[in-house]
Structure 1
């Protein structure tokens, strides 16, 4: 355990150093990711349904049917339908999932919108990595590192003992079903010969506290033979966007969000303090707004993280894993070094790029 901890502390320091270096560099530092040899499929996914929540029951059953989730991979629990669980409530959920989910299950789809937190932790990180009480003593401090960050494996439970999870969250059953349909429709549509092009858009803003991630945005231009071009632009740029597969920015609220710009499988997030407060963002935009507008997955923090880069998706790591054919769940999870306060939402198995 000490060796693992030391490894990820060093990795966190390296990420911080990369950011500091990039503040003075004319070009962003180039990040490498490991070559992946596979990705999650429906046979790897477990589904958790809250029987106390009609939304969860209907959305869970729809997801199981659309993705072909095996009945033995479905665990039914009873949870209070509110923003956050306390430690005792979470402990019961954690134990039930660990005891009932078969060992071949590598990742989890959680079929609800609430609860999205466990005290100051996100529910996706707590259920995947275990509850982190230290994060709640000082939410702006560095938090526990994830062994799944920028990892090669597509068998995280088998190799690392963790099941990364994602909320099938939305504002209504109808929009949740549309989200699931977008994820299914995305599969394998990009990255092959003759496939239409798509764009990864990275937006620089005047919000200095939330624009820190711009130091890690990739350079503009084509991404090899993936069919994706990186576009870097300013917040005030009025030109409409089309065929967006990834969009990242840093600000409290994105208004308006053009629903015509997305393609199925698109990822979108904004670096701000409370984007992961799905139902009440303390005046900041909830990441659900990205999904309601047509994106397929997003990420936001549920408690004040300050602007540690390690607590948010690394732009290049996210993009490069997705381009290789990783699922939305894998690409997002592998891009966050310190995910304790971050909640992942969307359709977990969306994989628009052909596995390379």
Structure 2
């Protein structure tokens, strides 16, 4: 079935996204880089990224976080955020933290604590609602000016080689729009299918050269040209057999994907290692509220309008307090 882009979200109520007009994506001059001078990989990767993306040197903030802790307490984070914010001009709309850890602030993710403020209430009741994201499903190109929030993402630094490959995928994504597939899986892990009702229907979108595919399956294997892969599994198998396109977004609805260095469930880092360009996962038990994970039609419709990965992901999560955004923020394969 062939449909127009605007029909992707037809009939989904709250999930509807405005997709009619092309969007203006985040520019390098609006992005700040935060580099941990106590981590050599952060220093090397941060400077490499700055050069590859032509981020102005004055947008770089240097901090010191010794020993790469996985988690900060609220006071440690407050001091870190004050140090970062003091160096940023009003034109900065987003922040890339160039490190793998820390990725949590108590039960919050560090990206959400930075963007929306630390949400202590969700730590008392982690299986309850979280702070509402005012940027959810909006079309504003200026989140800081209009909502007082700067979008945040982490760029993992455990491997310089893998980080440079990730950056390369993000940069290349802006040069062409290849024929691609978007995969949405309803799995045997029933509790992790809470966002399946929001999957876009199977369709072909000729203007974006995108085929939307849905499956009742726990995995896909040996598939190529993947731009989107969203599923619900504690561990996603056969990632090594897949071919992701530059700019690909991939994530799973599961409790601890954002515990990047943990081993309870599959870390969201595995998506990037498999070739995705950005991902998302929760750092503490969120239960299976769809609002705490990327909403599929909102994510897809905004990405197809041409915004960057960081904008599309941030617009797709209604309650992001517990979720960490990772990857290359400026990737925009549908930029016009």
Band of TM-score, shorter chain: over 0.9
Matched position secondary structure for 1:184:
helix
Give the equivalent residue in structure 1 for 2:72: 85
Counterpart check, 1:296 vs 2:277: yes
Give the number of equivalent residue pairs: 323
Give the equivalent residue in structure 1 for 2:322: 341
Give the equivalent residue in structure 2 for 1:197: 179
User: Is the CA contact 1:28–1:216 (under 8 Å) kept in the aligned structure 2?
Assistant: no
- Matches of 1:168 and 1:277, distance apart in 2: 14
Counterpart check, 1:323 vs 2:307: no
- Matches of 1:286 and 1:239, distance apart in 2: 19
Matched position secondary structure for 2:192:
coil
Q: How far did 1:197 drift?
A: 1.3
Give the equivalent residue in structure 2 for 1:216: 198
Matched position secondary structure for 1:158:
helix
Matched position secondary structure for 1:285:
coil
Aligned ranges for residues 109-148 of structure 1 at < 5 Å?
109-148=96-135
Give the equivalent residue in structure 1 for 2:4: none
- Matches of 1:32 and 1:100, distance apart in 2: 37
- Matches of 1:201 and 1:139, distance apart in 2: 29
User: Is the CA contact 2:222–2:242 (under 8 Å) kept in the aligned structure 1?
Assistant: no
Q: How far did 1:188 drift?
A: 4.0
User: Is the CA contact 1:259–1:294 (under 8 Å) kept in the aligned structure 2?
Assistant: no
What runs of 5+ residues in structure 1 fail to find an aligned partner? 1-26, 191-195
Aligned ranges for residues 154-303 of structure 1 at < 5 Å?
154-190=141-177, 196-235=178-217, 240-258=222-240, 260-282=242-264, 284-303=265-284
User: After alignment, is 164-173 or 131-140 more displaced?
Assistant: 164-173
The match for 2:27 among 24, 41, 54 is 41
Q: How far did 1:171 drift?
A: 3.4
- Matches of 1:72 and 1:161, distance apart in 2: 21
Q: How far did 1:154 drift?
A: 1.1
User: Is the CA contact 2:45–2:157 (under 8 Å) kept in the aligned structure 1?
Assistant: no
Q: How far did 1:187 drift?
A: 0.8
User: Is the CA contact 1:149–1:336 (under 8 Å) kept in the aligned structure 2?
Assistant: yes
Q: How far did 1:170 drift?
A: 4.7
Deviations 1:215-234 (A, max 9, x none): 11110011252111100012
What runs of 5+ residues in structure 2 fail to find an aligned partner? 1-9
| Consecutive aligned runs of 4 or more in structure 1 exceeding 6 Å deviation | none
User: Is the CA contact 1:46–1:108 (under 8 Å) kept in the aligned structure 2?
Assistant: yes
Matched position secondary structure for 1:46:
strand
- Give the TM-score, by structure 1 length: 0.87
Matched position secondary structure for 1:225:
helix
Give the equivalent residue in structure 1 for 2:16: 32
Q: How far did 1:149 drift?
A: 0.5
Give the equivalent residue in structure 1 for 2:94: 107
- Give the TM-score, by structure 2 length: 0.93
Aligned-residue RMSD, C-alpha: 1.6
Q: How far did 1:33 drift?
A: 1.3
